[in-house]
Structure 1
């Protein structure tokens, strides 16, 4: 019985709306915000085609340092990198052809979450990375 449908990594962020603005520079759009009882935005879902991320408010957010919070697969890595840089997103690592068959780059969001964004050069029948 197959139950897996999709996943949504959740990133801890200090300011949800500021983080939404950052990810919009990558082409994401907001699917909605949820507030605390005091009106403070405490959660948002953002999407880019089939990629979904959750942004959860955490006043002590410390990011992921050198570790990836998520690996996001895209169809055209060069186009996304160009789009990101045109919107003033600094690449933490330029595009590299990796030994594992992907071309990818890294970004760091305003809260220090490191994300790797890549394009699978030889996707299997089950999809990217598999």
Structure 2
């Protein structure tokens, strides 16, 4: 199935965000675009078979959920890389195991086993 909906996360410093997100969360870079001044202003990252985008703007918003295989190992790696954990891993009543964190610019990220 072709992906038609993409999450978009805003950052003041997209280049630093790419460094953090690939290091802390294991995402891969698909594409990076720079403006005429050489500033990274658009990025496409890959998580599994899906892509999401980063752009310059005010951080915050409702957050992004990403399904992972091993929540506890992912949590431990993200914490060690500097993610601020906002919710420790917990088993949900609907069968998922999830945790929440924020990145250095304050965007909310959720990781868990839920795959709708």
Structure 1, gaps ≥5 residues long: 121-127
Q: Find the counterpart in structure 2 of residue 20 from structure 1.
A: 18
Give me the TM-score of the superposition, normalised by structure 2. Answer: 0.85
Q: Distance in 2 between matches of 1:32 and 1:57?
A: 15
Q: Find the counterpart in structure 2 of residue 89 from structure 1.
A: 83
- Aligned residue pairs, count: 114
4+ runs deviating over 6 angstroms: none
Q: Is 1:111 matched up with 2:105?
A: yes
Q: SS of the counterpart of 1:63?
A: coil
Q: Find the counterpart in structure 2 of residue 125 from structure 1.
A: none
Q: Distance in 2 between matches of 1:62 and 1:85?
A: 20
Give me the TM-score of the superposition, normalised by structure 1. Answer: 0.77
Q: Distance in 2 between matches of 1:46 and 1:29?
A: 6
Q: SS of the counterpart of 2:25?
A: coil
Higher Rg of the two aligned structures: 1
